[in-house]
Structure 1
Amino acid sequence: MTFEYTPLPVPSDRRGNPRRIGVEIEFGGLPEDKAARILARTYGGQAQLEKDPIWVVEGSSLGDFEVYLDIFLRNAEKSALRDLGLKVGREVIPVEVVTEPLSFDQMKQLDRGIHALRDAGAKGSGDGVLYGFGIHLNVQSEGSDVHSILRPLMAFAMIEDWMRKAMPIDGSRQIIPFTEAYPTRLVSDLIDLGEAPSADQLVETYLAHCPDRNRGLDMLPLLMEAYPDKVTAILGASKANEINARPTFHFRLPDCLIDDPEWSLAKEWHRWWLVEKIACDPELMARLRTEWKENHGKITLLRSTWADRCGEILDEAGLVPETA
């Protein structure tokens, strides 16, 4: 199936401005300097070394890019030990391309750069057992109110088991604990909150089960942006300070299969579009909440049973892709 780019069901924020999307692309097979130069040739602008191993592309038609080895050592002071760590890391640690927040039309242009990187030898998740590379979509929230945050969170939480089964991520990513599934208890507690909880109830419920970043949908940047005092009070100042607060849903589940000529960023975008499409349908949301509770009962034995039932519900709503 060929996936197409579909605009968000709610394309503008509460102020009437178009919602923007930041994209992070992980891959192997190319050093960061070469990747930066390829992007500069594709979109214009100038590639330059900002601080080894961090490259930037400035002044392109899509704004500025950052290109770097995705490892904590990139910000360490230069030393023989750091350089050795970077050299070893390049065998298994991805190079990451990070965009500015893009308009929807700008995001669609990223496939040009993806094709250029592929032609130059970029490798995706399917190329090796340790190549657990992904796409991160940082989708601007409609607003900072509880309603705008809860609806997409709730939609994803209820369909996550189905999405992982019907649109599975590469096996290499399943053995790396960076995109763990939400605990079923979190989903149950979110449903119990109802449709109009307080901000404190929402933050307390989420952080009680997911005080870390390693989730398919990482909510900490958005919660930190919207409710910094509450998040800090629960996590503590030290841990809260490590969170890069921003008004976006940090969707980490999508794959990067950049070396597959049949793959497109549009396929991964479709995952998030589907979440928001469901979130905008009150009747479908109500049905999913009711049937999730009925399916799970007091004890959840098999998550796959809900994945199958969820798929039937979404199919009846006309929301299941042909490949799922």
Structure 2
Amino acid sequence: MSKKCSMPGIMKTDDGKERKVGVEIELSGLGYEDLVSLSSQLLGGGAKSVARYVSEISTDVGTFTIELDSDPIKDLDLQDQRLPESVRELGGQAMSVIDAAAEKIVPLEIVSPPLPFSELERIEILCDELRKAGARGSREALHYAFGLQLNPELPDLKASTLVRYLQVFAALYEWLKARHQIDFSRKLTSYIEPWSSTYIDILVAENYDPDMDQLMKDYLHYNPTRNKALDLLPLFAHLNSELLGRYVKDERIKSRPTLHYRLPDCDIDNPFWHFSTVWNDWVVLEQLAANAGDLADLIAGFRDSRKLSFHNLTTSWVDTSEQWLRSRNYV
């Protein structure tokens, strides 16, 4: 049974348009062609192949992409005329072997277009139906570390707004990690690291009120990598690519006016897991970022929890934050 995706209080950007979010889902258990065929049926769109192991599904809300999440395999061409003829003659057989192996060890990925928040039930239904068809997530094997990533558009691009989101995320990182019950295989990767502890102290300090350039410099000095549970580099590329380039040079960074939430794993074969399980926890962060009074209280408590004391040594911030959120009716 599909759960309902909650909606945050702020649904529109400052130019009056409905906010959007991109979704990236990594999974296995289905063959590439089967996934393309089933997804096109569920999304109500027409599929076409645009490259080796890359297909696009055109829908009324934009174009979804389905691909094998491995550039070397997608780019492999054993019929390349530069290869010896003996190798090319075996190309068809070799590719069949490579394809069969790749689909077992490399995740397939569904990448949505930027979707209006109000259209997210499509993703909920898609995930639930793919589970029924045999899709598998991170728990299926130790070498799987599949993610479900969100790219939510911010209400506006003011430094003060971004600071609120970052502060809430810093305070709720451990709570979110516990809620998502991150699979062991994903915990072993470097994709979902927390921010630098020194940076967090700067971020949650009383009266922290930087302009955007200073905010970027503070973050990038301590976190010059994509591999963070909440990755800001796509947003910074959109805001000031020249400043970003002083700290990080990585061609994989895609400019967009969104946050990049990388923490959750894709547990799609778990009958108690739903897309809305992940999304609704993100909405808790959204609601807190929009409530100045509650945010101030939460950050003050989080700041205190980072001090060395007997109380903090014997008390879990995860439990404390859970109780606090329940007392304020956020969960």
Give the TM-score band, short-chain normalised: 0.7 to 0.9
Pair 1:204–1:304, CA change in 2 (3 A): farther
Please tell me the residue identity of whatever aligns with 2:195.
Y
Which of 290, 310, 317 is the aligned partner of 2:328? 317
Percent pairwise identity: 27
CA distance in 1, matches of 2:143, 2:210: 41
Who is 1:47 aligned against? 47
- Provide the aligned C-alpha RMSD in A: 2.7
Give the whole-Å Cα distance in 2 for the aligned partners of 1:136 and 1:46.
24
Cα pair distance change 1:187/1:86, threshold 3 Å: farther
Q: Structure 2 CA distance, aligned partners of 1:104 and 1:289?
A: 27
Distance 2:69 2:204 in 1: 36
Mapped contact 1:4–1:267 kept (Cα < 8 A):
no
Bigger drift between 5-14 and 75-84 goes to 75-84
Q: Say which of 264, 281, 285 aligns to 2:274.
A: 264
The structure-2 alpha-carbon separation of the partners of 1:310 and 1:262, relative to structure 1 and needing over 3 Å to count, comes to closer
Q: Which of the numbers 277, 294, 297 marks the counterpart of 2:307?
A: 297
Residue among 300, 307, 314 paired with 2:318: 307
SS at match of 1:11: coil
Task: After TM superposition, list the pairs within 5 Å mapping 1:1-324 onto structure 2.
Answer: 4-58=4-58, 60-73=59-72, 76=75, 78-79=77-78, 88-192=101-205, 194-235=207-248, 238-239=249-250, 241-297=251-307, 305-320=316-331
CA distance in 2, matches of 1:119, 1:288: 40
Larger Rg: 2
Q: Quick check: 2:175–2:321 contact (8 Å CA) kept in 1?
A: yes
Give the whole-Å Cα distance in 1 for the aligned partners of 2:247 and 2:16: 33
Q: Give the whole-Å Cα distance in 2 for the aligned partners of 1:119 and 1:295.
A: 43
SS at match of 1:234: coil
8 Å CA contact 2:235, 2:257 repeated in 1: yes
Structure 1 residues 44 and 309: alpha-carbon distance in aligned structure 2, compared to 1, 3 A threshold? closer
* Contact 1:19–1:103 (CA under 8 A) maintained in structure 2: yes
SS of the counterpart of 1:136?
strand
Q: 1:177 to 1:43 in 2, by over 3 A?
A: same
* Count of residue correspondences: 316
The verdict on how the C-alpha distance between 1:3 and 1:230 changes in structure 2, with shifts beyond 3 A counting, is same
* CA 247–221 in structure 1, closer or farther in 2 if over 3 Å, else same: same
Unaligned runs of 5+ in 1: none
Q: Could you tell me how far apart the structure 1 residues matched to 2:130 and 2:62 are?
A: 18
The 1:216/1:165 distance shift into structure 2, 3 A limit, reads same
- Partner Cα separation in structure 2 for residue 150 and residue 74 of structure 1: 40
How far does residue 86 in structure 1 lie from its aligned partner after superposition?
5.9
| TM-score normalised by L of structure 2 | 0.86
More divergent stretch after superposition (177-186 vs 8-17):
177-186
Give, in whole Å, the separation in 2 of the partners of 1:289 and 1:110.
32
Larger deviation, residues 305-314 vs 136-145: 305-314
CA distance change for structure 1 residues 282 and 113 in 2, over 3 Å: closer, same or farther? same
Q: 1:72 to 1:193 in 2, by over 3 A?
A: farther
Whether the 8 Å contact between 1:125 and 1:131 is mirrored in structure 2 is: yes
Q: What SS does structure 2 have at the residue aligned with 1:65?
A: strand
Q: Which amino acid in structure 2 is aligned with residue 250 of structure 1?
A: H
Distance 1:163 1:197, change over 3 A: same
Distance 1:87 1:179, change over 3 A: farther
**Deviation digits for residues 98-131 of structure 1, max 9, x if unmatched?**
1111112221122222233223221112222222
Structure 1 pair 2–101 and aligned structure 2 pair: CA distance change class (3 A): closer
> How far is the alpha carbon of 1:195 from its aligned partner?
4.7
Question: Would you say the 8 A contact 1:254–1:271 is kept in 2?
Answer: no
Is the Cα–Cα contact under 8 Å of residues 278 and 285 in structure 1 kept in the other structure? yes
Runs of at least 5 residues in structure 2 that lack an aligned partner in the other structure: 80-90
Once the two structures are superposed, residues 182-229 of structure 1 have per-residue CA deviations (whole angstroms, 9 ceiling, x without a partner) of 232221111237352111221111112221111211111111111222
**How much does 1:248 deviate?**
0.8
Separation in structure 1 between the aligned mates of residue 101 and residue 243 of structure 2, nearest angstrom: 40
